[in-house]
Amino acid sequence: MDGVLTEFFSIGYIIAAFGGGLFGASIGALPAFIFTGFLVIAGEMVTVIVEATGAEAPNVTGHVGFGAVFGPHISFGGGVAATAFAAKKGILDAGRDILSPPTKGGVRADFYQVLLIGGLFGVIGHLIRAVGEGVLALPTDNVALGVFLSAVIVRLTLSPGKTGLLGKFDPNVAPSRMSLPEDRHNAWLPFHSRIELVVLIGIFVGALSGWMSIITGSVFIGFGISAASLIVLNSIGPISVTHHVTLPGALGALAVLTATGDPVAGVIGGAVFGLIGALIGELGARLFISWGDTHVDPPAFAIFISWSLIMALSAALPFMTWAL
């Protein structure tokens, strides 16, 4: 633990986190997260290949994919903050537009402030993780917690319309905060907000991720593929967002497999926890996205809650054992 604290709170790590947040601000939140996905895939492949030889693999996933520059609590969080700040200054039209780099609105003489805000929130996201993981030892995914809490701070401080944490509900748009109009125009993912789609994707993507983790031994391979797949969303058009399904699916599958030794049971566990992740993600979207004007990340919300749930159940149930 002392080594972890020394690394987390070193001046070098904090400077790198500022650079990572600035990187996210310069290219946009979602493009930065896509980099995370490809680096996680690379890191997991290195681990699988090297460990197959009996050698100890370098922790590329932990130190690079989830580390000081490309960790989503740093680069994605910095991009979210920069987008909100750019909208607040009138550079961008929408503070929720995490697909576009802030430069889309033009580079004015004061644009450096947008980059500085990104760097600042890169450090904030890093410190949230450092305290949660290194000091408090919170039983959750502290990277996801950092993404979520950083975005909450953005909403409360940089919201262009001062919408508040849960946003400004408009009864002329929908009958309640948790419902959506038929055209889905205020949804997080208008093309993927109907409950039958959420359930279908949750079950089968969770099962698929669980199976991949069972056969490779890699917890994060499904997450990496999901994150990298968002290059399609960012460049071509609507696709499902699934990293909050694949990671709980993998964790649940390995927890069940470790306790039972049964791969089929493990895949079923992946389906169950993939569904749970999908439903929590949609809940988070309707709580924080539908009526707000900045991005508060539903997948991060789903991942840290699902992670905590799987850890708790693994301690209480005989057919689950925490496997990470």
Angle between helices 243-260 and 221-235 (to 10 degrees): 170
Q: Quick one: three-class SS letters along 241-300?
A: CCHHHHHHHHHHHHHHHHHHCCHHHHHHHHHHHHHHHHHHHHHHHHHHHCCCCCCCCHHH
Among 75, 121, 122, CA closest to 101: 75
What's the domain count of the chain? 2
Distance CA 9, CA 31 (A): 27
Distance CA 267, CA 214 (A): 8
How high is the pLDDT of residue 69? Answer: 87
Distance CA 36, CA 24 (A): 11
How high is the pLDDT of residue 18? Answer: 98
Q: Are residues 108 and 12 in the same domain?
A: yes
Instruction: Give the global pTM.
Output: 0.95
| CA distances in angstroms from 92 to 41, 77, 87, 264, 322, listed in the order given | 32, 17, 4, 49, 44
Last residue of a domain, one of 128, 162, 196: 162
Q: Are residues 315 and 267 in the same domain?
A: yes
Q: Are residues 130 and 4 in the same domain?
A: yes
Q: Which of the residues in the chain have pLDDT under 70?
A: 1-4
Burial 94-118 (b: 16+ CB within 10 A, else e): bbbbbbbbbbebeeeeebeebbbbb
Last residue of a domain, one of 139, 162, 185: 162
How high is the pLDDT of residue 2? Answer: 63
Q: Are residues 60 and 113 in the same domain?
A: yes
How high is the pLDDT of residue 1? Answer: 53
- The whole domain housing 229 covers 171-324
Q: Are residues 204 and 256 in the same domain?
A: yes
CA 92 to chain centre: 23
How high is the pLDDT of residue 3? Answer: 66
Joined together, the tokens standing for residue 129 give: 């993780």
How high is the pLDDT of residue 196? Answer: 96
Tell me the per-residue pLDDT of 42-82, one tens digit each, with 9 for 90 and over.
999 999 899 888 898 889 999 999 998 899 999 999 999 99
Last residue of a domain, one of 143, 162, 181: 162
